[in-house]
A and B are shown apart, each in its own frame.
Chain A
Amino acid sequence: MIKQQLAQFISLPYMARLCARITPYLFFVMLSVIAIGLAWGLYFAPSDYQQGDAFRIIYVHVPSAFLSLMVYSCMAISAALFLIWRIKIADEIARASAPVGALFTFLALVTGSIWGKPMWGTWWIWDARLTSELILLFLFFGYMALRDALPQKIGALASSYLAVIGMINIPIIHFSVIWWNTLHQGPTLSRLSLPTMDSRMLYPLLLMILGFMLYYLLILCLQLQTAMRRS
């Protein structure tokens, strides 16, 4: 009974119907959260005593970087579920996650570079954090390229293996600033310790991360409905 209900819940038609229902709400909530987060972060949050107003790049850089890791983790977990139990919807989630994950990684690299120029004096350096994030971008590109280069079934399997193996890069990115002596600063938000930011700067950052998560969810909802209609 439970197995049957679970099977119905994770079926593509059921999820597509659920997505159709929540998409408009998701869109307006996402828009409001990002608008409030941006206004708060760019205007109301105080300037940093060392970096001045340049620190405000954090409100787009950190959410992009956070989401790049989160989306890759979701993609790898979905790929693993597809490989183990052949759940079709897990494969669709992995497929829909790759381009949006690549976009977040690209944005994290570009906004980081724009922040690096005034603070470090250079757009780019082969630092452990930056290099491992660039490898993540190539992993997303590799996933998409492998999937499209091979016939449908083999492409889905091969790219899923790549996503699962590439998961090894996620802890490397996260801990790179601790394991190696890098130019990039240490973690601002960590589960194991208190944030190293003042709450007036932290809350808009958390709002922006939430807004970017809602954006990812919105993209997934639209992609799942598109996949359902095409299948």
Chain B
Amino acid sequence: MISQELKKVILTELNLDDFDLQDETIAPEVPGWDSLNHVNIILAVEKSFNIKFKSYEVLRMKNVGDLQKLVDLKTGK
């Protein structure tokens, strides 16, 4: 399940009020989340949670659920 905190970071970066982000949501389904913006979203998540991703970790993410899992792992949740 996507945490409110992660959802807020993503939606703020995309300038969206709301969007139903689920574990299986993929970037192309979310308005504004294109390849050019992807890197900005990742950096915003890193900044907000005070964590750092490795490039290969980013490459392996298939959906928002994978991003959540990685955030949880890095923040020790």
Real binding pair: no
Binding site for A on B (CB under 8 A): none
